[in-house]
Structure 1
């Protein structure tokens, strides 16, 4: 898939995009680009191919019970990264959604990096590791000037409703019945496919 320099650097998803419920933002983030500016000025980027939505009203959300120093970012203004450490080992990258003082966010579960091994970022921990994202990025705005941002779906990746699979969330013990996970059907970089959905053949995303 060919992505222009302008698509990577000039167009960043605005705060208004994230100022909506997580379950509305999550499917629209599939196909968008996660971009990291490298120290040498080059850009590491990948197509987001899997997301999950979380909301304060349901038990799997970190902010369901109370606000704390560790989850304070999730209660902040939309359009910021919320990064936490799970099992003391893996970082997970989320984007805060909805509104201030209400915990809502979208977990970036997997990305596909053109030209790399297809499963190099197939899971939240692998995604964070490949992009070098850790707790230092917690609370950072989704803005190009900060070195880490999200760009809209490129023109080369036009998606139809049939391209997205909506299914239950995974890796949690509560709230699994909510169908708040979405992934790109044609991607082989999804962390786990829904039952009965076969692995697609190898082909470029665009």
Structure 2
């Protein structure tokens, strides 16, 4: 019997590496979300790396808090946060426990279960928009703070969230640049990685200071 290696879950050792190695290597991997009404599969097309307490753009830059505790490990778990009072965003924790690095999942292509994603993203104009942006990705997959700390390396078919091997994207087809919405010293790092010319990738927007009462676009949350 032939074993489909693309359907195998990523092992914990995959995530127990430096964040700048893990982030581009996540492109092309398959994120599986099991829901009461079915299953959604998403091919990751855009991510951003955040390097913990040495990274001014990271939630962990000023140290450990109740909000960011799951960033400190162990690797292979989710860090889900609530931002701007209306959106959730999902990261995958990587590096050794205690290091607080993670990869923000910015965008992906829904490869199965698109009808389920549309129920949660009814305003999407087309399927490429269903998970184009970190908040839209989390909304399409029905991810919120209750999923913070979820182990994505469990491998059980019945698990609520898994990351499978998928088809990793060759580095020649990966672009990189500044992270979306990150200002200050963190703006100089080219730690956003995406599949070149993929239609599901979100548009880049430079950092803009927040203005009280302004409703922000769902593609712009920072990590």
* TM-score band w.r.t. shorter chain: 0.7 to 0.9
Q: What corresponds to 1:178 in structure 2?
A: 189
Distance in structure 1 (CA, Å) of the matches to 2:105 and 2:169: 18
The correspondence of residues 182-193 of structure 1 with structure 2, limited to 5 A, is: 182-192=193-203
RMSD: 2.1
Q: Counterpart of 1:202? A: none
Offset of residue 193 of structure 1? 5.2
C-alpha separation in 1, matches of 2:58 and 2:204: 22
Structure 2 stretches lacking a partner, 5+ long: 115-126, 206-223
Partner of 2:102: 105
* Secondary structure of the structure 1 residue equivalent to 2:172: helix
**Within 1, Cα distance between the matches of 2:204 and 2:59?**
24
Alpha-carbon distance in 2 for matches of 1:112, 1:192: 15
Tell me if structure 1 keeps the 8 A contact 2:106–2:134: yes
TM-score (normalizing by structure 1): 0.84
Q: How many pairs were matched up?
A: 186
Alignment match, 1:203: none
| Pair 68,113 (structure 1): closer, same or farther in 2 beyond 3 Å | same
Range moving further from structure 2, 54-63 or 109-118: 109-118
**Alpha-carbon distance, 1:6 to partner:** 5.6
C-alpha change, 1:7 and 1:37, in structure 2 (3 Å) is farther
Q: Is the 8 A contact 1:62 1:71 kept in 2?
A: yes
Query: Per-residue displacement from partner, 1:160-192 (whole Å, max 9, x unpaired)?
Result: 322100111111223011010100013101011
| Cα shift at 1:101 | 1.1
Determine if contact 2:180/2:204 at 8 Å carries over to the other structure. no
Does residue 152 of the first structure (1) align with residue 165 of the second (2)?
yes
1:130 aligns with 2:140: yes
